[in-house]
Amino acid sequence: MEDNKVDEADEEEYCPTELHQYQFGIFSMWMFIHLLLLQTSSCAGDSGVVNPCCYYPCQNSGVCVRFGTDGYQCDCTRTGFNGENCTDPEFWTRLRLLLKPSPPVVHSFLTNFHWFWNIVNNSFLRDIIMRLVLTVRSDLIPSPPTYNTKYGYLSWESYYNISYYTRLLPPVPKDCPLPMGTKGKSVLPDPKLLAERFFRRKTFRPDPQGTNLMFAFMAQHFTHQFFRTNHDVPGGFTKALGHGVDASNIYGDNLMRQLQLRLQKDGKLKYQLVKGETYPPTVSEVPVHMVYPKDFPPEQRLAIGQEVFGILPGLTMYATIWLREHNRVCDIMKAEHPTWDDEQLFQTSRLIIIGEIINIIIEEYVQQLSGYLLKMKFDPTLLFNARFQYSNRIALEFCQLYHWHPLMPDSFMVDGDEIPYSQFLYNTSLLMHYGVEKLVDAFSRQPAGQIGGGLNSHEAVLKVAEMVVRESRAARVRPFNEYRKKFNLKPYTSFYDLTGNTEMARDLEELYGDIDALELYIGVLLEKTRADGIFGESMVEMGAPFSLKGLMGNPICSPEYWKPSTFGGETGFNIVKKATLKKLVCLNTKWCPYVDFHVPRNEEEAKPKTPSTEL
C-alpha cells in the first residue's frame, strides 16, 4: 500500500478519475473477502477444513481419530457398541441397557423404602449391594489413566508424568472453530459476569439434607491432600506428590516438611501446650512455609502440614484434632511395641490415621452426601475377588467439580457469638479462645448452604468460581453434556431442562447460545437439585465414581496391606475398622460435644455429653 500513498504536497492536485474510483472499489472488496477468508481459515485450521473430531461424533466412549484433513474413525473397542460412531449396541449391551435402571430410578430406590433398607442393613444383603455400588462406580474411572491437558491421546507421558492431573475426556481440540467445539458463541462469557449473575447469593439457602459446617470444613481439609493445583503453571499441573488419601495435609507433602513437623521421638508430631491442651506448634518453633498475611502475629502463625490451612479456624480445628489423634495412636503403639524406634512408630501410626480417614469419609461423609438409606460400609475385603486396581490418579474434572464454596454461610455462630468473615479469615486465635470442643459443637449445629442450583455463594468466595472457570478454559475442558454422556446420563436439550428456572435459562441461552456449549463447572453448579438434595444429578453421578475409586484404590485397602500386621496388630487394626467422627473428636477432647456431619435431628441429639465409655 506504500506505492498508493499520496504525498501531502500533491494532495490538492490529486483528482482520481472514475476509473480510479472503480479500481479502488474492486480492490477494497477483494481485501474484505480475503480478510474474511483468512479469519475463517485461522478458525478452522490451515486447510480451512474443520477437524471432524470437534463435532464429538464418537458416542459411548468411542475414541475419535482424525485421518487426513476431513476424515475420522471412531475406535469402538470394548465399548459394547459398533457402527461408524459407536452407536449400534451389541447383543449383550442391548440386553444390559434394557434391564439397567436409569440413574433417577436407582437414586429413588436408594433414598426411599425405609422398611426394605432396614432389612438390608441388618443382613448379608448389605455386603452384596455395597460391593455392587463400589464396582459399578469405580468401573467408570479408567485405570491406568488416559489423558492429560497436554496430550489428548494416549501417551507414555500421560501415564508416567504425575505432575499433571489426569483427565477423563481429552481436551477440546485446539483447531476447533469455536471455544467449545462447533457449537455456541465465538467468545465465552466473562467469568466475573458468570459469578455475579449465577453464583452470588441473595438469600442464604440451607442444604435441605441437613449438612452442616463440620462437613464443610472436612470437605476442605480432606480434599486438600490431593487437590493442589499449581496456579503458577497453566495447564492442569498439580503440586501434590500423591494422588489420593496420603494424609499429606497432616504430615506435609514432602519429606523435608514432614521431618520438620515430627518430634523425632516416640513417632510423634511436634506440638505446643496452651492451658494444658495440645495445639499445633508455631512457625517460630517449626519454620515450615505457611501462608499468612505479612502483619500476622507470630504467636498465631501455626505450623501445619498444609501451608494454607491457617486461613480458616475450621481447618486449624481439624489439624489440631488429627495432631492429637496421631500422638494418641503413637502412645498406644509404643505401649504394645516398646522395642520399636521412632521411625516405625511414626510410619505405622500414619497408616492407621490414613485408615481412619478413609473409614470416616466412606461411612459418614459419603453417607451424608448421598442421602442413601443403604448404610455405607468400609470393608476392603468386599473387592478382593473383584477385578480392581489399587492405584489412583486425581483427575482435573474431579478437582473442577469439587469446588463446593456455596457450603459457606453468611457468618459463623460460635458459643453465642456471630463472627463475620472479616474476623473469621486468618484468625487462628479463635481456636485457642473457644477451644476445640466449642468449635466442633458450633460447626456441627450450624447448617451449610445448598451447593447446587446456583445463587448461593457468599461474595467472599465468588473469586474462587471465577478462578475455576478460567482454569477450565486454559485446560480446554469439554462441554458439560459430553461429560453427561460419558457417565451414561442423558444430555440436556435446553437450558431450562438443565435449570428448571426460566430467567436463568434465558440468561444462559444469551451468553452461551447452545446447551451443548455449556461449560462443565457451570453445568454441575447450576443444575436443578434433586428433591430435597444438596445438588443435582450430575454432581452425584460424576463425583461418586472419582471418590470411591480414589478411596478404595488406596494401597492400605489392597490384600497385601489389609491385615493386622500392617497396623501394628489387632489393636491398631481395630482403631481403623471402628473409626468414627465422634471417636476422633471425643477421644481427643476434655468433653464430648455434639459432633456429626448433620445438624441435630432432635433435642436429645443436641444435648452436650460427657465422653462415653463406649468410645
318, 402, 434, 594: the catalytic one is: 402
Residue 211's DSSP bridge partners are 598
Q: Is 486 exposed, middle or buried (0-12, 13-18, 19+ CB in 10 A)?
A: middle
Residue 402 known to be catalytic: yes
Q: Which residues contact 51 (CB under 8 A, 6 or more apart)?
A: 44, 45, 66, 173, 175, 176
How far apart (Å, rounded) are the C-alpha atoms in residues 363 and 55? 42
Q: Catalytic annotation on 496?
A: no
List beta partners, residue 272.
279
Question: Which residues face 66 on adjacent strands?
Answer: 72
Positive or negative torsion for Cα 491, 493, 497, 499? positive
> CB–CB of 74/64 below 8 Å?
yes
| 419 conformational bin, left if phi > 0, alpha if psi -120 to 50, beta if neither | beta
Read off the DSSP letter of residue 166.
B
In terms of Cβ atoms closer than 10 Å to its own Cβ (0-12, 13-18, 19+), residue 208 is middle
Point out the catalytic residue in the list 107, 221, 224, 243.
224
**Cβ within 8 Å of residue 60, ≥6 positions away:** 76, 79, 80, 81, 86, 87, 485
Alpha-carbon span 29 to 25, nearest angstrom = 6
DSSP 556: G
Count of H-run helices and E-run strands, the chain: 25, 8
Please state whether the peptide bond connecting residue 600 to the residue before it is cis, i.e. omega within 30 degrees of 0: no
CA torsion sign, 113 to 118 to 124 to 128? positive
Grouping H, G, I as helix, E, B as strand and the rest as coil, residue 269 is: strand
Pairwise CA distance, residues 135 & 562, whole Å: 18
Three-class SS of residue 200?
A: strand
Residues 6+ apart with CB under 8 A from 593: 437, 438, 440, 441, 444, 585, 586, 608
State the sign of the Cα–Cα–Cα–Cα dihedral 445, 450, 455, 457: positive
Terminal CA-to-CA distance of the chain, rounded, Å? 87
CA–CA separation, 554 and 219 (whole Å): 18
Q: Other CB atoms closer than 10 Å to residue 159's CB: what's the count?
A: 15
DSSP character at residue 293: -
Going by C-alpha positions, the residue among 304, 325, 324, 134 that lies closest to residue 220 is 304
- DSSP class of residue 362? I
DSSP state for residue 198 in the 8-state scheme: I
Return the half-sphere exposure (C-beta side, CA atoms, 13 A cut-off) of residue 147: 20
Outline where DSSP puts E strands in 55-99. 63-67, 71-75, 81-82, 88-89
Residue 189: how many CB atoms within 10 A of its CB? Answer: 18
* Of 453, 441, 383, the residue nearest 416 (C-alpha): 441
Question: Which residues are catalytic, by number?
Answer: 224, 402
